[in-house]
Amino acid sequence: MNDLLFELPLPEFFDLGACLAYMNRSPLECLFRSDSKGVNRLFVLEGAPVLVRLTVAEDQPLRLKATLLAGVRPGAEAIADLARYIVEWFDLDRDLAPFYRIADVDPLLRPLAVSERGLRIIGIPDLFEALCWAILGQQVNLAFAYRLKQRLTAEYGESLEWEGHTYYHFPRPEVFLTVTQEELCSLQLTRNKARTVLEVAALIAGGGLSREELLALPTPEAAEQRLLKLRGIGPWTSQYVRMRCLRDTTAYPVGDVGLQNAVKFLTGMDRKPTPAELLEFAVPWHGWEAYATFYLWRALY
């Protein structure tokens, strides 16, 4: 089909290759399929599945191209919504120059700022997906979290077959209104995780929680406090959602094991740093703690 939907101008300090390298970190990823040139992802637009490919146009100035691979071409409003989603997915409207001014002179970040130049925080613009991913990742290794997401998505999400591969769309919260804890536990979710997923799904489906509501709060800390009121949502989960969904560059999940291990590895410490030590490391990163975290994770995989 290869029907061009739109092109987006790319900012300074954007490297699709660096972003794809991060996105390729697990073969268990089920929500998109990436290669060395671009990424394919299934969207549901106007109630219908639409498979889209993102690549970078070769000519200057560089632009991100969104091409329709399968499905019916959506209308103008849906295409505009998709463009906004992609801007947020790749953080395309962020000026990274201030971050690199900090990172280029920071002992921990400087090597990563060179090797990962142009990497953007890969966001999760959908609040329900972001919360579920964080819930599934609580106190398990990354590979098992991916397996849980894969099972949840295959069981309850929409899908589309194209050129011998099945593409999945993360399930919408409304789907879970008739799902039981036992059904989620059969996918190897713990009872606590199953309960939290169902409660969050019901809350979002009923209009009791939304990304728009959280973004409208006066500060990111207020959004975090709103999330912490939910049973099963702790500081790590709320910080992760601030970082990946609410696009808060000051989010700093000091309880994240990956962050702790990255700092331990890069500094040669014989133990994981304490939260207080991580806060001390972050003093020069003020305002860019989330980007520092995202880059530090790249030291591990």
pLDDT digits (tens, 9 = 90+) for 262-299: 999 999 999 999 999 999 999 999 999 999 999 999 99
Q: Is the pTM of this model over 0.75?
A: yes
Whether residues 71 and 135 fall in one domain: no
Dist CA 191 CA 181 (whole Å): 7
Angle at CA 92, nearest 5°, toward 104 and 4?
Answer: 140
In a domain, 34, yes or no: yes
Whether residues 159 and 62 fall in one domain: no
Whether residues 169 and 187 fall in one domain: yes
In a domain, 157, yes or no: yes
* CATH, residue 273: 1.10.1670.40
In a domain, 37, yes or no: yes
Whether residues 55 and 151 fall in one domain: no
* CATH, residue 39: 3.30.310.20
Q: Where are the beta strands (DSSP E) in the chain?
A: 3-9, 32-34, 38-45, 48-56, 63-70, 158-162, 165-169
Range of the domain at 284: 96-116+249-301
Per the structure block, which two tokens stand in for 30? Answer: 């089920």
In a domain, 85, yes or no: yes
Whether residues 210 and 152 fall in one domain: yes
Whether residues 30 and 47 fall in one domain: yes
Instruction: Identify the weakest region by mean pLDDT among 76-85, 135-144, 156-165, 216-225.
Output: 135-144
pLDDT digits (tens, 9 = 90+) for 23-50: 998 899 999 999 989 999 999 999 999 9
> What percent of the chain stands above pLDDT 90?
93
Whether residues 149 and 228 fall in one domain: yes
Cα 120 → chain centroid: 11
The question of whether 256 is a catalytic residue gets the answer yes
Dist CA 291 CA 103 (whole Å): 10
In a domain, 121, yes or no: no
Whether residues 85 and 62 fall in one domain: yes
pLDDT of residue 59: 78
Q: Where are the alpha helices (DSSP H) in 137-288?
A: 142-156, 181-185, 191-205, 211-216, 220-228, 235-244, 257-267, 275-281
pLDDT digits (tens, 9 = 90+) for 48-74: 999 999 999 877 778 999 999 999 999
Whether residues 255 and 240 fall in one domain: no
Number of domains in the chain: 3
Whether residues 44 and 69 fall in one domain: yes
**Residue tagged active-site, from 91, 126, 248, 256:** 256
In a domain, 46, yes or no: yes
Whether residues 213 and 269 fall in one domain: no
pLDDT at 8 over 70: yes
Whether residues 100 and 132 fall in one domain: no
DSSP class of 216: H
In a domain, 122, yes or no: no
In a domain, 58, yes or no: yes
pLDDT digits (tens, 9 = 90+) for 163-214: 999 999 999 999 999 999 999 999 999 999 999 999 999 999 999 999 999 9
